[in-house]
């Protein structure tokens, strides 16, 4: 099982917060490129093949993406057929 497969499995079963660095790795492995939009912690992940965008704020001072954002991102990835 590759690291990407492990991250996918963890993300699919996650019921709480998820580490931001792991989310970055997951999205990168699924074909997204990260862009910083403006100043501050706003981030935009653009799927190269489809052009679909996932927007979120990089968490600070903590390092975990909140559970509600995990659910929203998971639903977007499922709708895109990536999970």
CA 45 to chain CA centroid, Å, is: 8
Q: Does residue 46 contact residue 68 with C-beta atoms inside 8 Å?
A: no
Per residue in 32-56, pLDDT (tens digit) is 998 877 778 888 999 999 999 999 8
- Does an H or E element contain 51, and which? none
Domain count, the chain: 1
Give the domain CATH number at 15. Answer: 3.30.920
Give dist(CA 10, CA 24) in Å, integer.
14
Per the structure, the complete domain to which residue 15 belongs is given by 3-79
pTM value?
Answer: 0.87
């Amino acid at each position: 099982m590759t690291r990407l497969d492990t991250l996918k499995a963890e993300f699919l079963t996650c019921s709480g917060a998820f580490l931001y660095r792991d989310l970055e790795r997951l999205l990168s492995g699924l074909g997204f490129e990260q862009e910083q939009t403006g100043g501050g912690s706003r981030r935009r992940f653009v799927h190269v093949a489809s052009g679909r965008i996932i927007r979120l704020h990089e968490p600070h001072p903590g390092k975990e993406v909140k559970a509600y954002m995990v659910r929203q991102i998971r639903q977007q990835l499922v709708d895109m057929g990536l999970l």
